[in-house]
Amino acid sequence: MHPSIYMLEKELIENKNVTRIPLFLLVCGTLLFISLLMNNTLQHNLFFEMEFGGDISDVHIEFVDDFNTFIIMLVGFISLMLSSLYFPRTFRKERKEGSSMFWRSMPVTNNMTHIVKLGFGLFVIPVVCSVLVICADVLLWGLNLATENRLALLFEQRSLGYAVQHWLNYLSIMWVIAVTMLPLACFTLVISQIFNSPILVMFVGGFALKWISIVMLNSDIVGEFYHAIFNLPLQLMTSSNMFTAFEGAGWGNLFVYIMIGIASYWISHKLYSTDELSLKSLLTR
């Protein structure tokens, strides 16, 4: 078996929150579903306006689409949150526990280590969270079967086939977002190898750069760049045309963002080759 498979398994074992948080939310959602299913009065109050007896209207279809998009956005937010917690601590955690020295003794290159880290944080975590999407659709399908009247809110959940379709739609969106988040993930890996509190440093440093550009350049170009990049995942989740979302971010902003990502990967690669976590270790190489 390829070493990357073992490394991904190690990441999954060592980062238990990646599985525990979605599992906790799944249990809570299931309990909520059961309580809704058993409470006829609450069920009636929630859905009486959404019942339909014949053809579904355009208003209903639009509402159903918004509801299904909300499911993707909610699970997508959970996935991005877990990724944002993973990257700032992964390399530093290895250094403190000594496992980084173990992997250096194995036939694993620094490039392979970075690819596994990025792959786990950006692609594997969304797959783990995708269980929430398919379980939500299955539970709603069960609710649709259990109710006496058909509900427009659950129009799409009339078959299990839609659960698979919705799951694949979620994965396709999140993997596109994963590609767009690669530069930011690489930058976070760099900061995490230099500073003890990478999230705080990124927040304070980003805020300082924004105000420096306003005071010295009399322009909010840095703030506009932040808004374009950090708003991109939300636009990709909600937009019917992903190309429009990229166009809205601005090709100039995307080019600068990609260049930052390339430079960050190179710096992170060099830092990981050193024995200590500091900016000095990079400058002395």
Reported as a single tens digit per residue, the pLDDT across 60-108 is 556 566 777 888 899 999 999 999 999 998 887 776 766 555 555 566 7
pLDDT at res. 47: 56
Count CA atoms within 13 Å of residue 8 on its CB side: 17
| Alpha-carbon distances of 13 from 6, 120, 122, rounded to whole Å | 10, 12, 17
Reported as a single tens digit per residue, the pLDDT across 110-150 is 888 899 999 999 999 999 999 999 888 888 777 777 665 55
Q: Report the C-alpha gap between 98 and 281 in whole angstroms.
A: 18
Q: Report the C-alpha gap between 129 and 77 in whole angstroms.
A: 10
Q: Report the C-alpha gap between 17 and 72 in whole angstroms.
A: 20
Q: The pTM is what?
A: 0.84
